[in-house]
Amino acid sequence: MLQKLLDALIDIVLFFPRLIFAGVVEMIEVMLTWLPEIEVMDLQSLFNNLGGQILYFLTVFEFGYGLTAIMTALLARFVLRRIPFIG
């Protein structure tokens, strides 16, 4: 009996926050329908359309290694900041 009373009290207290949350979610769903669809290009076709000069400089500057090194450094920084007393 006491549990049912507490559940009813919690439902009464949380009625308006749940109502506001549902309204905000509905507004966001409506606003998302206003956005235009974005056409996503295939990454392989994008690289196939690069010119020879661009591919030459990407090879000379070792773009693949550089991008991997940058992403690894960013990931390591993210992980280290999550450790207490270090970040």
Q: For 41, phi and psi rounded to 5 degrees?
A: -85, 155
d(CA 82, CA 84): 6
DSSP codes of every residue in 3-71: HHHHHHHHHHHTHHHHHHHHHHHHHHHHHHHHSPPPPPPPHHHHHHTS-HHHHHHHHHTTHHHHHHHHH
User: Does the pLDDT of residue 86 top 80, yes or no?
Assistant: no
Q: What is residue 31's predicted lDDT score, i.e. its pLDDT?
A: 94
Q: What is residue 50's predicted lDDT score, i.e. its pLDDT?
A: 81
The pTM is what? 0.43
Average pLDDT, whole number, for the chain? 88
pLDDT > 70 in the chain, percent = 98
